[in-house]
Amino acid sequence: MKKSKVVSLKEAMQEIQEGDCIIMGGVVEDRRPIAAALELIRQGKKNLIVLAECSLSEDMLVGAGCVAAYRGTYTAIGAFGISPSTKRMAEAGRIVIDDIGHTDVCLGAMAAMAGAPFIASRTTFGTDVLNPAYDNVAKIRALARNKEMIPEKKYVLMEDPFYGRGTVQLHPAMKADVLICHVQYAGEEGTVRIDGSLVFDHFAAHGAEKVIITAEQVVPEEYLRRDPNRNQIPCTSVDMVVEVPWGGHPGQVLNFYDMDIPFLMDYVGKAKTEAGFKEWADSWVYGLKGHDDYLNKLGAARLEKLRAIPPFGYRPRPKGGTRS
């Protein structure tokens, strides 16, 4: 039997260094590594560079002053609006932002997975992504601990040399020092099974220098290997595994629990101001020793109301959004 990769959440987050380029798996409020983000805040991490998106988990890091720069695309929390801490910090000039296209994030992760330095596309033609006035890649590269994680150029335009179909954009691979990914199941040796959308986590896992998996359940490898077609990330790509039940709260994790709408509304409302974010963080981050305290504060009754109902994979709501 191979050595177990299971560690505590505290141990795993201690691997993150100042100036690291990190990707947080999942998307918007779905399968986000929230427990990991809150532990990073407790540990006082600084000058991180977040890649790909700046939604729920990343926005919490931004609000806590853990993030120096962001290079990616989507900057909102779904129906709850623009990521409030990121908006506030950007307007105050306290974070460097370099926008790239939605599809280019996925293509960049795919290139990193393949070991390719770049990939060609046309997806951002006609947008300000290609406007030199908004090119901040050099500023972000200067902030990175490992300069090799950030490209020297944002993009290069060239003529298609194979089919003669005009100009294409060469988009650099999106590499990272660390991928932190929250999933439904992980084996003790690191095999990962994700229910629902993979987003681009299965690409990023092969393009990151280090991969940390937080999982709702850590299960025997033998169980996962009975049905290998359902596994998306091999154990050989994973460095650490952490069992963190409810680790995506207040977001949703398919087949486990739905989003906590009142919690999300409270966060978004308070994070719009520095004082409001501090109030929220004092209550839900700094005032708690860790994830167990977080769950105890939420309470079993509240969590049970979020638990997914088979066969839906989430908690059905009647029209109007209020749960029965």
**Same domain for 155 and 285?**
no
Residue 110 and residue 168 share a domain: yes
pLDDT at 190 over 90: yes
| Euclidean distance between CA atoms 92 and 165, whole angstroms | 43
The domain tally of the chain equals 2
**Tens-digit pLDDT profile for residues 268-288:** 999 999 999 999 999 999 999
Considering only the C-alpha atoms of the chain, give the largest distance between any 2 of them, rounded to a whole number of Å: 62
Residue 71 located in a structural domain? yes
pLDDT of residue 2: 76
Confidence of residue 323 (pLDDT cuts 50, 70, 90): low
Q: Any residues with CB less than 8 A from the CB of 50 and at least 6 apart, and which? A: 22, 23, 24, 58, 61, 62, 67, 69, 70, 71, 72
In a domain, 281, yes or no: yes
Region 47-58 average pLDDT: 98
* pLDDT tens-digit map of 117-155: 999 999 999 999 999 999 999 999 999 999 999 999 999
In a domain, residue 199? The reply is: yes
Q: Do 101 and 33 reside in the same domain of the chain?
A: yes
- Do 268 and 194 fall into the same domain? no
Residue 191 located in a structural domain: yes
Does residue 235 share a domain with residue 133? yes
Domain co-membership, 193 together with 238: yes
Residue 321 lies in a domain: no
Residue 323 lies in a domain: no
Alpha helices in 100-200 (DSSP H): 102-114, 137-143
Average pLDDT over residues 291-296: 98
164/126 same-domain check: yes
Residues 195, 59, single domain; the answer is yes
Residues 201-222 pLDDT 10s: 999 999 999 999 999 999 999 9
Q: Over the chain, what is the mean pLDDT? A: 96
Question: Based on the domain organization, do 197 and 275 belong to the same domain?
Answer: no
286 within domain boundaries: yes
Range of the domain at 65: 9-243
- Whether 179 and 212 share a structural domain: yes
Q: How confident is the model at residue 318 (pLDDT cuts 50, 70, 90)?
A: confident
